[in-house]
Amino acid sequence: MTAELFQQITTHGAAVNLSSRAKFRLTGADRVRYLNGQATNDVRRAKSDQTLYACVTDVKGRIAADIFIHAQADSLLLDAEPDLREPLGMRLERYIVADDVELTDVTEEWQLWHVFGGSVDTPAFHPSLRSTRFGTAGFDLWLPASATAPTFDARPLLSEVDLETWRILQKVPRWPHELNIETFPPEAGLERSAMDFAKGCYIGQEVLSRIKTTGKMPREMIPFESDAVVNAGDELWHEKIVGKVTSVTQHPITSLTIGLAMIRQGTATDGLHVGSSKGPLIQRI
């Protein structure tokens, strides 16, 4: 990302084409009850004008997918990372037993766009869904696949590379870097955005409730900066190995390395080194 583009996003916001994301429709009388038993957030609160963020977890409470949900009159629509299209579809189908629910893959039927920043509080797009995907308030726009692609005035259309830079600068975890089958949602800081601890039972709920009660979990996500070159996958040391770097980018203004890492919970973040106990230092931000 160039410094000029960063300033443009800061001033005018940006637009993103997310049409490659996996998309599913749930229909049937039991759709809300069923999905509420699969997701970490309260699906009963899903609306037609706002997305609801949630995780789908396994029986051990680890993340199988993160999803955005919204409601229509006769269905629930959800979207997820493109790589999750097949495994998420299989995961959701597996638990439909005697429920009046039908799951349909509608990935190819819809375009999905997201705009954020700028004058996003008064969108010119209809219908639109309030959605905070990348650390900044924004809106989602679902359009039929055959529709003409929208235009976004002064907002630049971000490439995947530039979006990834913005995502890391905003400290937003992403599948499969920070969110994956080894991660509990609280480790990635998703308690407030993706979890409801009063909604009742769902797959993995017992483990996650225990983490909530005790405050204990194996790891935690931290954002950091460094004036050294740091790469995703690098080990982090504090006398011994305590974690690893999961995402990195270069700040377009300062040129510092900005990144996210998963480290052992309770590790002192002063004196974290990259690669060895004598490697370059990183600073938590």
Is the per-residue pLDDT at 121 higher than 90? no
pLDDT bracket for residue 117 (50, 70, 90): confident
| From-to residues of CATH 3.30.1360.120 in the chain | 3-169
pTM: 0.95
Q: Is the per-residue pLDDT at 10 higher than 60? A: yes
Closest CA to 248 of 229, 270, 276: 229
pLDDT value, residue 125: 60
Residue 119 banded pLDDT, cuts 50, 70, 90? low
Asked if the model's pLDDT at residue 122 lies above 50, the reply is no
Structural fold of domain 218-285: Elongation Factor Tu (Ef-tu); domain 3 (2.40.30)
Burial readout 226-257 (b: 16 or more C-beta within 10 A, e: otherwise): beeebeeebbbbbeeebbebbbbbbbbeeebb
Both structure tokens of 182: 């080894």
CATH architecture of 3-169: 2-Layer Sandwich (3.30)
Tell me, what's the pLDDT at 152? 84
| pLDDT value at 255 more than 90 | yes
The mean per-residue pLDDT over the stretch 195-221 comes to: 96
Higher-confidence residue of 124 and 142: namely: 142
Domain boundaries for CATH 2.40.30.110 within the chain: 218-285
Rounded to whole angstroms, the Cα distance separating 63 from 219 reads 14
Over residues 75-89, the mean pLDDT reads 98
